[in-house]
Amino acid sequence: VFAQVGMEYLSSHPYEGNDFELFARISEKNHAHSTLNPLAAYTKRMTLEEIMGDVMIAYPNTRPMCSANCDGAAAAVVVSGSVLKTLSLEQQKRAVKVSASILTTDPWEEACQILPNVNTLTRLAATQAYEQAGVGPEDLDLVELHDCFATAELVHYDNLMLCEPGGAVEFFESGATWRDGSTPVNVSGGLESKGHPIAATGIANVWEVCHHLRGEAGDRQIEGAQVGLAHVIGLGSACGVHILEKAA
């Protein structure tokens, strides 16, 4: 499904370069980021040649361009503002504000009852999340998105409105998504190297954003992070988008 989604995007928005290499470079970025994450399933930096030369799973995704299915767990403690005031000052300082929490499902279409539209449900969730939080994609200091495959990451740049419509390739090639770029994406290493423990993945993405907002992300810390977005999808189909802000 996601291999097809990525290739369809490039068909709709013609790219003159090597499409296989483009997606491999996205994976190269994520594997580079994972070297700074001690909790990542894979912490080895991979070269472009290693990624492109590995086992082909479904063109254009080779094995390193696919999410690492692994065991994992994540949890979040959510309290109201009034309850937060009863906690210690240290706990209050570490609090992160949930500025938006949106869940969408794929709209039913009589014309297509087989293949879910992963683009539609993410775009709907992102639109509602930005409106609920009162921020825009230009305000985000980091993004943890659902890169179950390298091809998925590319289309979600567009679906989350991190770039101009149709401009996902240009956005990536500008260097914006690297840790030192204007909109760092998957600083954790993403699902491709951090790991994809299925049910825990969504909260794991929230956890990563929270750590940056608290200044607790260690060597991969995005300095001065104030606002972050966490995104997760599940075929079936559902999408969750959370916008989190550093507490005052």
Domains defined for the chain, CATH in brackets: 2-246 (3.40.47.10)
pLDDT in tens, 178-228: 999 999 999 999 999 999 998 899 999 999 999 999 999 999 999 999 999
CB 99 within 8 A of CB 213: no
Q: Find the mean pLDDT for residues 235-240.
A: 86
* CB-count exposure of residue 65 (10 Å: 0-12, 13-18, 19+): buried
Please, are residues 142 and 225 in contact by the beta-carbon 8 Å criterion?
yes
- The predicted pLDDT at position 79 comes to 96
- pLDDT tens digit sequence for 103-147: 998 766 666 555 567 788 999 999 999 999 999 999 999 999 999
| pLDDT value for 114 | 57
Residue 83: the pLDDT is 97
Instruction: Please name the residues in contact with 90: beta carbons below 8 A apart, sequence gap of 6 or more.
Output: none
- Which residue, among 33, 40, 28, has the nearest Cα to 70 in the 3D structure? 40
Name residue, tokens 């599940």. 234
Residues near 205 by beta carbon (within 8 Å), at least 6 away in sequence:
144, 145, 146, 188, 230, 231, 232
Closest to 6 in 3D by CA, of 176, 161, 152: 152
pTM beyond 0.85: yes
For helices 150-159 and 19-34, angle between their N-to-C axes, nearest 10 degrees:
90
Strand pairing report for 227-234 and 142-144:
parallel
Q: How confident is the model at residue 173 (pLDDT cuts 50, 70, 90)?
A: very high
Q: How far is CA 201 from CA 16, 21, 117, 167, 179, in A?
A: 34, 27, 20, 27, 20
pLDDT grade for 14, boundaries at 50, 70 and 90: confident
Closest CA to 213 of 143, 135, 126: 143
Q: What does the pLDDT average to over 52-56? A: 98
Q: What angle do CA 43, 44, 47 make, to 5 degrees?
A: 140
* pLDDT, the chain, mean: 94
